[in-house]
Homo-oligomer: A and B are copies of this chain.
C-alpha cells in the first residue's frame, strides 16, 4: 500500500472519530463549564492514532468499524485524560500541546484535573451505554472493557507515568526503561487494537498475534517519541522539544544515544511486522502502519 493510500485511510477514520467525539459532548447532564474544558482538549485535532487502530482492527476482522466507535472514543478519551494530567505543573509542566496552550493554562489546574477524571469515567459510561445496543455479545463487551481498564490503570499508563516521574524502580536502567515504556505507552496503544479485537470476538491466535504486534508497535512509538524530542521542532511537534534531555530523564536516546535508538525503533518495527505476518494478507495494512509510525516526524 502506498503512503498516500494509508494516509487516506487514516484521514477518513480520523474524521469519523472526530465527529463521534464531538457528538458525545452534546450531553445536557454535563455542567457547561466542565463540558467546555473537556471539549478544549478532546476536540483539539489529535492524530487519533489509537481510535483509528481500533477501527482498522474491527474492519480487518470483518466488522463494520463504526460499531467500535464507542470503544475507540473511550480509548482516545483516556489518552486525552492522561495528556491533560501529564501536562499539569506538578507533572511535566507543559505550556503547549498540539500547538495550543495546555488545558490548565486556559481553564486552571482544578478544572484540568476534573476534565481528566471525567474523561476516564465517561469513556466507560459511553461504552456501557452504547455497546450493548450495537449487537456485540455481553461477553465480548466485558472482555474488551477488561483489556481497556487494565491499560489505563495502575498496571498501565498510570503506572508508567509514576515510573517516569519518580524514575524509581528495582531494575537496572535498561530494564527499567523498557518497563516504563511498556506501561506508559505500549499498553494503551496495544489495547486500542486488542480491546477492539476482543469486542468483535477475535479468536485466540488472532488475539495473540495482535497482542505481540501492539506491544512492539507501542515500544517503537515511544522510542520515536524520544528521538523526536531531540530532533523535532516545536512547529512539527506542537509541544516543546528537548525537555526530557534538559530534565535529565531516562529515555532511549539518553541511554543508548541517537543512532542506537533509531536502530532499536527499527528492530521493534520489524518485530511488530513479524508478529502480524502469521495472520496473512488480510492484515497487510498493519505492516504499513508499523512502518508509517516508525517514519513519523510528529
State the CA gap A150–B124 with chains docked (Å): 9
State the CA gap A110–B87 with chains docked (Å): 10
Q: Is the interface of A mostly helix, strand, loop or mixed?
A: helix
Size of interface on A: residues with Cβ below 8 Å to B: 58
| Copies of this chain, tallied across the complex | 2
Q: Are A111 and B29 in contact (CB under 8 A)?
A: no
> Residue-by-residue, is A124-156 near B (CB-CB < 8 Å gives 1, otherwise 0)?
110011001000001101100110011011111
Q: Are B138 and A142 in contact (CB under 8 A)?
A: yes
Q: Are B154 and A121 in contact (CB under 8 A)?
A: yes
Tell me which residues across on chain B come within 8 A of A78, comparing CB atoms: 121
A245 within 8 A of B: no
Whole-angstrom distance from the CB of A127 to the nearest CB of chain B? 8
Task: Indicate which residue in B88, B91, B114, B142 contacts A162 across the interface (CB closer than 8 Å).
Answer: B114
Sample of 12 further A-B pairs with CB below 8 A, known A85-B113, A110-B165, A138-B138: A34-B158, A35-B154, A82-B117, A90-B113, A91-B110, A111-B162, A113-B113, A117-B117, A117-B153, A120-B121, A122-B153, A138-B139
Please list 19 pairs of residues, one from A and one from B, whose beta carbons are closer than 8 Å in the complex, sorted by A's number.
Answer: A31-B162, A34-B154, A34-B158, A37-B162, A82-B117, A85-B117, A91-B113, A110-B165, A111-B165, A114-B162, A116-B117, A121-B152, A121-B158, A122-B149, A124-B145, A125-B149, A128-B146, A138-B141, A141-B142
